[in-house]
Structure 1
Amino acid sequence: MRVIIEKLLLYIVLTGFYFADAEGASLIIALFAFILFFSLDLSEHRFTVLAATGIFTLSLLLGTGWIYYVPLLSFSVAGRYRKWAIATFIFHLAEPKISLIMLSGIVIYMVYLREGMSSLELENKKVRDQLTSDNLLLRRQHNELLKNHEKDIYMAGLNERNRIARDMHDALGHSLSSSILLIESLQYVRDEEKLKESLSLLQGRLKSGMDDIRMSIHHLYETSIDLKSRIEDYMEEMEPFDAELYYDVDMEIGHEVKIDILSIVKEALTNVKKHSKASEVNVFIKEQNDFLTLSIKDNGSRKPEQSKGMGLLSMREIVAKYSGIFNTFHDGGFTVHITLYKEGIR
């Protein structure tokens, strides 16, 4: 379509110049030139331009008025044969006109530029398509790695649970069996001092067994949670929002604290979806010298009607559990800002 418009504009300019400059300008030549050159767009075959060039040559021999349409011939030849368009300058020898010669040169140059730009655009499109394909492939591979990572974590958790179960069985089984034997032997003890000593020993064994159980349960809950990856998953679920995570934490965070942080982030992002009328949301988690800061900020124009909704209240309760600081404010968007002191979350 672009080529047809350019050709039509060139035809109008040449026809206007023809009728203004030539004596006895013929409307038939103008109409025939229109039919000849615009019929080329009906076929993509390259030899149609050669046929049109032959017809143009015969027509030029019959009437010099055709000299005014040489730039249009140059335009058509340049579009199909590129460098061979220079050969069309030979037609100007029939009746040299500086303005027409210059116009032919400009037309050929413009066509070269257009075709060069088209080639670059086509190449850019190929590169863009290839990059898109590579990006999709990388995403699939990344997802596979994440799945494998989660699978490894799950299997490691199962192995750890099995180990803890064995440890509990060994430790508790030994404590209970020895305690049972001790209880059975108490019925034969007559000495009060020996009885107290045996009961004290029994108490120690039972306490030791209970300590083993507590330790095993403690290790059971220390399974690995990748806090950053979990929050990134939440951010991906925020489409069509423009969601970004800024994470800068090196300290070890306990299992329960991770769960609570995830709960806060999840609740805050849910509030953004439901109430904020925002287009973007950012989550900042940064470790400072003595504390950890967590901020969830959106660019919504709507200020929350109630500062003590159930979602915000539950966040406050979680933060209070660690003696942290909970703040909310509206300035170019709604922000939840939380400070958790390291002493409280270790």
Structure 2
Amino acid sequence: MLFDVIIRLLLAVGLISFINANGITTGGVVVSVCVFLILEVSLLCDNKNVCYALTASSFVIAALFSGKPFNGAHFMMLVMFGGFAIISLILYEKMMKYKKLLNMTRDDSKELEKMLEEKNKRLMSEQDQQVHLATLAERNRIAREIHDNVGHLLSRGILLLGAIATVNKDEKLKPQLDMLAGTLDESMEKMRSSVHDLHDDSIDLKKNLEDIISELKNYEVTTDLDLDEEFDIKIKLSLIGILKEAVTNIIKHSNGDSVSIILQRNYSFCSLSVTDNGNVPDDEKDRILAGNIDGIGLQNILNRARSLGGDAYFYTDEGFTVFARLPLEH
């Protein structure tokens, strides 16, 4: 809008100078005011054709009332002002068109960014769901083994004890047999309670990490995993998800041949480092150094770490390193 106002103002100054080129008269002043008003009114028109018609009419009025004689110099001046007006209006229309396209591009970019963020959330949710399903399967397997093995042995013992108590004629043994029967019944109840109380803490972190590491079949892998102490369920899920993303990134993008995986645990935090010796392009190094993480997998690693109050870092000094630091709850 400001650019359009400036164009109209410059045209008004030029046409007024053209009208009063032979001297300032009362008629020239009146015509100059009319031309100025016509040009400013054209700014208020939403219809482009009306706007262009009013602009053109100001040139016609200036040409008719510019005074005589209407020589070649006057004609050339009028042509110059007309050319300036046409070129300015064309450039203004182009600028508005590109501005509109830029706004549309920004809107589309925001929409795509929002869609990508939602897809990342769904992807992380699906990965967590896969881990959860694996946990449920492991829980059911343990419960089934306890039920089939220990449960059957206890049931058989209870039945045998019942049969012995039935045929027993020695009254002195009856209290001991009753005590033994009570103990077996209590054991059966506790076993059933333990089977039903199995929960997500039964996730085998070591097995899950080893399963993910086994995907690196074409790499020489060295590991140093501190798994002596138990981790919280949230930390387990996050470590499994981060390692999965890092290994997937190596398989897809790394041209190296060796991978180092280190999991360390301190009193207040644990850290997971995954390094491969592949070459990282210079432009990718610059983007990572600038903090521009555009990969879905790397962004998921960041989101997982930060969701627990931790953080993740990416280094390209020697190959490519994913370093995640997660706080521990005490």
Q: Give the TM-score range, shorter chain.
A: 0.3 to 0.5
Per the normalisation by structure 2, the TM-score is: 0.45
Tell which has more relative contact order, 1 or 2 (C-alpha 8 A, sep 6+): 2
Question: What is the TM-score normalised by the length of structure 1?
Answer: 0.43
